[in-house]
Amino acid sequence: MTGLCSGRVAVVTGAGRGLGRAHALALAAEGARVVVNDLGVAADGSGGDTGPAHAVVARIRAAGGAAVPHTGDVATTSGAASLVETALDAFGRLDTLVNNAGFLRDRMLVNLDENDWDAVVRVHLRGHFLPLRHAAAHWRSEAKAGRPPRARVVNTGSGAGLVGSVGQGNYAAAKAGVVGLTLVAAAELGRYGVRVNAVAPAARTRMTERTFAEAMALPAPGGFDAMAPENVSPLVVWLGSADSDSVTGRVFGVEAGRITLWEGWRPGPAADNGDRWTVAGAGEAVRGLLGSAAPPWPVHGGAP
């Protein structure tokens, strides 16, 4: 390890299992002091258990690192505020926020009720916004006090939020919202020394065990486990370090040994007749535009 994050304090939400745990351990291995947040809920968000957060803290400490647990609900104002306060009380500073907490309640749209919609959007989207809002308020205060931070936020998006995913309307909408939030936060907070990016990982977790069941059944070539959540963490650590100062407002896909820079919505082909379109004219223009445009990326789980 290089000690890339020595002296930094990182908060990771949803860090008791899966990707969050891998991120917390990797940050600690690079010298960061870590606040490990996890409610310990089931894969659908039900229940709760403080054990996972404490287990990750114990593992970091056993390896010689520094960590404290936080078991509050980061999708509440009090939970998000106490998350930031925990970092400041325990370590005196906050440098990196990794928003990762989430769960799934997959349904086809016609079977998706409003409770499952609200629960998933709440944890993924509000659970990103509130920690970011409270961390940003702290960093802005630091900057105004003449102590400009080199702060980093790494949000967790998904391919579902970039191209859609059949059976995951609630999750895809929330993750698309995370990307929008990332872009706005990067634009607003840059003046305070804050860099904000997102990753769209593909890895084996409780949330994806059915999605990657076939891949997980295959032997790992050369001993490389392509679906291990630890494959995502090196990029998260780098984005959470001071080295990433020139990178903000970006979304990176991470899968196995591949890192992809996703390029977002931007103007494509256009037609302008200098006046209001007729209905027929608008339709004809759209057909022409589609004929000159690249086809959209296929929706996950959709027909080929």
SS (H, E, C) 115-131: HHHHHHHHHHHHHHHHH
Q: How far apart are CA 294 and CA 287, in angstroms?
A: 13
Task: Write out pLDDT tens, residues 79-132.
Answer: 999 999 999 999 999 999 999 999 999 999 999 999 999 999 999 999 999 999
Determine which one of 46, 141, 144, 171 is catalytic: 171
Domains, the chain, ranges and CATH?
9-262 (3.40.50.720)
Distance (Å, rounded) from C-alpha 169 to C-alpha 5?
Answer: 37
* Confidence (pLDDT) at 215: 46
pLDDT interval class at 220 (50, 70, 90): low
Is residue 158 part of the annotated active site? The answer reads yes
The confidence score (pLDDT) of residue 258 equals 95
Catalytic residue selected from 175, 233, 241, 244:
175
- pTM of the shown model: 0.92
Q: Distance between CA atoms of 254 and 198, rounded to whole angstroms?
A: 10
Q: Is 122 exposed, middle or buried (0-12, 13-18, 19+ CB in 10 A)?
A: middle
pLDDT, residue 304, reads: 64
Indicate which residue of 158, 165, 233, 241 is catalytic: 158
Rg (CA), the chain: 21
pLDDT, residue 43, reads 76
**Annotated catalytic residue 175:** yes
Residues 6+ apart with CB under 8 A from 251: 157, 162, 179, 182, 197, 198, 199, 200, 261, 262, 264
Active site residue 144: no
